[in-house]
């Protein structure tokens, strides 16, 4: 039977749902029902949604819905929750945790865990404070050395895991204790070192682009950039003879992004302006997403999370990828630690301790990264940390004690993990995992 539709051989499921009649002329393959969606109009999209629901393939939709519910609940309890000031504060407060969660996403994609990132973040903040404040080193040099401290710590963990064969849980648990002790040692008996309020690290979270053109300009760049990237990707797919999105769908997606981007810009301009911390976080998310989805290295990370033995037989240097992933996690732990130090304008003995580690891991998992490896995106860190920090700020506005905050956050995390496990089992039943 000759058909005029075909499926793509690579990319996400969303990339495979558009028809491309010229690409498949004369081929004898089964028609993927996802390619028929747009021919059926609105009914086709409803059918596709039901198919994804049955297969456990809803992506970030549950998280977005959950975040909307959280905001509606807290706004109904306190009218100050959705004010420009509170939303701006939430977005800045989430960056430190979010940066570390980006590194955790890399580790989770391998199906592993890193329990040391909280302590490593504290070491980075302490290292910067000791070098720049106590010893008078140039801030930029101290900043770079603090980040490299995290890279080295992560690489050490990766070495023991990949080369020696010690389980990642045990290695990073030992790292948690060691680096926490190391942080206390270098901070000394005082335990707290205040940072220069006008210094490099302090400005990471205190600096705002006050000109309204900054926020609106970023919204325009984000919208135009998405459209151009999507349009270029379509042209590339058409040239390669694989399915691509129709122009109408790209326009709709771009319009939705424009609405969200300009709404956020309006909120920022009603307060202090566009926060530098948010700009840097978005830049990191764009870069890491590109690395994971568009480079050979990223494909190797996903492959390793799917099957170690298959990856080894495919010629992937398993040990090198594992070490590099833990080094990346350590690097982002250090970067996040500097943002945390910036937020409180000091490095102290409490950095990276308490519930901080659990919030970081919860942010990655709640955002949609699978604990079982092989599925997730760094953008999941943004969604997850936004949920975590929104809960914290909402409960704080209500004056609810920390123990209750811990229980609620734990309940949200458990719900997410249960959904992840059920989704994976559903996909396996549907033949997709």
Q: How far apart are CA 12 and CA 48, in angstroms?
A: 15
Judged by phi (left if over 0) then psi (alpha if -120 to 50, else beta), residue 78 lies in beta
Burial 300-311 (b: 16+ CB within 10 A, else e): bbbbbbbebeeb
pTM score, whole prediction: 0.84
CA angle 17, 22, 25 (to 5 degrees): 100
Residue 154 contacts residue 120 (beta carbons within 8 Å) = yes
Positive or negative, the Cα torsion across 411, 416, 417, 421? Answer: positive
pLDDT at position 357, please? 86
pLDDT at position 50, please? 63
Number of Cβ atoms within 10 Å of the Cβ of 218: 19
Structure tokens at 59: 């992506």
Q: How far apart are CA 429 and CA 394, in angstroms?
A: 39
C-alpha dist (Å) from residue 227 to 19, 20, 160, 253: 20, 20, 44, 8
Packed helices 379-397 and 402-429: angle between N→C axes, nearest 10 degrees? 150
pLDDT at position 426, please? 67
Structure tokens at 2: 């000759």
CA angle 173, 174, 180 (to 5 degrees): 95
Q: For residue range 65-86, list pLDDT tens digits in order.
A: 888 999 999 999 999 999 999 9
Q: How far apart are CA 380 and CA 177, in angstroms?
A: 28
Pairing of strands 192-194, 346-348: antiparallel
Q: Which residues of the chain are modeled with pLDDT < 70?
A: 1-59, 420, 423-433
* Secondary structure element (H or E) that encloses residue 77, with its range: helix 61-77
Q: How far apart are CA 412 and CA 350, in angstroms?
A: 25
pLDDT at position 192, please? 86
Q: How far apart are CA 57 and CA 12, in angstroms?
A: 11
Total number of residues shown for the chain: 433
């Amino acid at each position: 039977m000759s058909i005029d539709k075909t499926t793509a051989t690579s990319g996400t499921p969303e990339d495979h749902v558009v028809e491309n009649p010229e690409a498949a002329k004369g081929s004898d393959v089964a028609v993927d029902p996802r390619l028929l969606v747009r021919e059926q109009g609105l009914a086709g999209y409803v059918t596709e949604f039901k198919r994804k629901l049955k297969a456990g393939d809803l992506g970030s939709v549950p998280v977005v819905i959950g975040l909307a519910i959280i905001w509606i609940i807290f706004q109904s309890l306190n009218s100050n929750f959705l004010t420009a000031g509170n939303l701006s504060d939430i977005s800045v407060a989430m960056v430190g945790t979010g940066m570390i969660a980006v590194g955790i996403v890399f580790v989770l994609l391998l199906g592993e865990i890193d329990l040391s990132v909280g302590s490593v973040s504290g070491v980075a903040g302490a290292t910067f404070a000791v070098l720049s404040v106590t010893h008078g080193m140039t801030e930029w040099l101290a900043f770079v050395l603090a980040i490299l401290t995290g890279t080295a710590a992560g690489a050490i963990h990766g070495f023991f895991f990949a080369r020696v064969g010690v389980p990642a849980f045990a290695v990073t648990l030992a790292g948690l204790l060691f680096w926490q002790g190391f942080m206390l040692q270098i901070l000394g008996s005082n335990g707290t070192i205040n940072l220069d309020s006008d210094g490099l690290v302090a400005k990471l979270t205190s600096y705002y682009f006050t000109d309204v053109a900054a926020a609106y300009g970023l919204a325009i760049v984000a919208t135009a950039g998405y459209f151009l990237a999507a349009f270029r990707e379509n042209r590339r797919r058409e040239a390669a003879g694989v399915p691509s999105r129709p122009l109408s769908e790209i326009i709709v997606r771009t319009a939705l992004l424009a609405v969200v981007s300009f709404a956020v810009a309006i909120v920022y301009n009603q307060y202090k302006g566009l926060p530098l911390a948010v700009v840097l976080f978005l830049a990191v998310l764009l870069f890491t997403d590109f690395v994971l989805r568009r480079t050979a290295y990223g494909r190797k990370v996903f492959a390793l999370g799917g099957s170690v033995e298959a990856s080894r037989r495919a010629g992937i240097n398993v040990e090198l990828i594992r070490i590099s992933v833990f080094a990346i996690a350590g690097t982002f732990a250090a970067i996040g630690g500097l943002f945390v130090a910036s937020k409180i304008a000091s490095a102290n003995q409490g950095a990276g301790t308490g519930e901080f580690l659990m919030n970081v891991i919860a942010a990655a998992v709640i955002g949609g990264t699978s604990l079982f490896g092989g599925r997730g995106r760094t953008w999941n860190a943004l969604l997850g940390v936004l949920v975590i920090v929104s809960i914290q700020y909402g409960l704080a506005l209500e004056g609810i004690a920390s123990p209750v905050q811990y229980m609620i956050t734990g309940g949200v995390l458990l719900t997410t993990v249960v959904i992840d496990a059920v989704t994976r089992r559903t996909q396996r039943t549907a033949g997709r995992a």
